[in-house]
Structure 1
Amino acid sequence: MDSALLNPEHQFLGCLMQLPIDPVRRALTGMRPSDLADPAASFVLHLAIRAVAAAQPPTPVVLFEHAHELAARPRCSRLREIALWIANVYEVAPLAPEQHVLYLKAAVLKVAWRRAVAEYAQRLLQAVTESPSHDLRALADDTEALDELWARYEAARQQHCVVPRPEVAA
């Protein structure tokens, strides 16, 4: 089974590639490339943000065009890898992306927040053994990035919850 099928980051990006620009703008609100753990996914999200800023929907062709523009000099093998990655994610994206994109956005941000908490905890553990108490206290109090990421996750979760669901005929 293709790993893109099981990866919310890839599924989110696959949805973005299928949508018109207005729903993509809404889905990208509050998203940052650093929210994605996979470096290729992070780069493609950067390309999608760049495309939308240029008033272009992030279709696979547009994303590849932006990747090509960002290449300082021709790097055929790297560009080929990106093209294949984009094509694979697009190919396995969910059907009806407008119904899934906001849920996937919230899922991606939830995982990003949990990853950020784990990294913060590791820094705290290291500081416990290696830093003076004053520095440890400052680090322990520095949760601004975590709080901001949590707020973006909560906003995405709320945004997903208010999306009208299709009604089932009785």
Structure 2
Amino acid sequence: MRPIATDIERQFVGTLLWLPTHQARTVLAGMRADDLATPMPADVLQIVIELVAAGHDPAPVAVFSHAVITGRAPGETRRGWLGKWLADTYTACQATTPAHAQHLKAVVLEAAWRRAIAEHAARLAQAARDSATDVLAALADDTSRIDALWARYRTALDPTDANARVLKEVA
């Protein structure tokens, strides 16, 4: 396991644990748990998303309780892992700000976008060797996931610019 200080996904989730609901909601706009590649941060992010959507602060105790109540932390061992992970992450990410969380969000989304491109390229390479041309052409044209990640990444880089673009498009 990477140290918390260099684990961007864990840093991102850790910053969310310090934010009140309204600030966390703003940072979480456009995020999905599957944007994260590592299982524990992705699982915790999903719980944070659910808590914030329900109007609750994503504090570690709320995340832990929600995991237990929803059956995502079955058994003493899993609860111990989650509790230690939350405590270590929360402690390591002290003194966070919404701006810092927003920056980490952009870094996480860029990494997700790059992974999506790499996965798409691998599928294209396999299809180029083994698939019929119509299958290859359809696969080459299917960049919707990559395009969506790119758009969310660009919005995370400058959310105020994204809001201005939307207003211009509406006008």
Q: How high is the TM-score relative to the length of structure 1? A: 0.89
* Structure 1, unpaired ranges of 5+: 163-170
Conserved 8 A contact 2:5-2:11: yes
The C-alpha deviation readout for 1:53-98, integer Å capped at 9, x for no partner, is 2211100000001110121784111121111111111111152332
Residue in structure 1 matched with residue 149 of structure 2 by the alignment: 149
- Partner amino acid, structure 1, of 2:75: R
Amino acid at match of 1:138: A
Runs (4 or more) in structure 1 with deviation over 3 Å come to none
Q: Measure the CA separation in 2 of the matches of 1:40 and 1:160.
A: 31
Deviation for aligned residue 1:26: 0.2
1:165 corresponds in structure 2 to none
Provide the C-alpha distance between the structure 2 equivalents of 1:66 and 1:73, rounded to a whole number of angstroms: 9
Structure 1 letter corresponding to 2:120: Y
Distance in 2 separating the partners of 1:156 and 1:74 = 34
Is structure 2 residue 56 aligned with structure 1 residue 56?
A: yes
Deviation (angstroms), 1:159: 2.0
**Please, which runs of 5 or more residues in structure 2 have no aligned partner?**
163-171
Number of aligned residue pairs:
161
Percent identity over paired residues: 41
Cα root mean square deviation, aligned: 1.8
| Structure 2 counterparts to residues 22-37 of structure 1, below 5 A | 22-37=22-37
Distance of 1:113 and 1:65 partners within structure 2: 32
Judge conservation of contact 2:73–2:79 (CA < 8 Å) in 1: no
Distance 1:33 1:39 in 2: 9
Pair 72,39 (structure 1): closer, same or farther in 2 beyond 3 Å:
closer
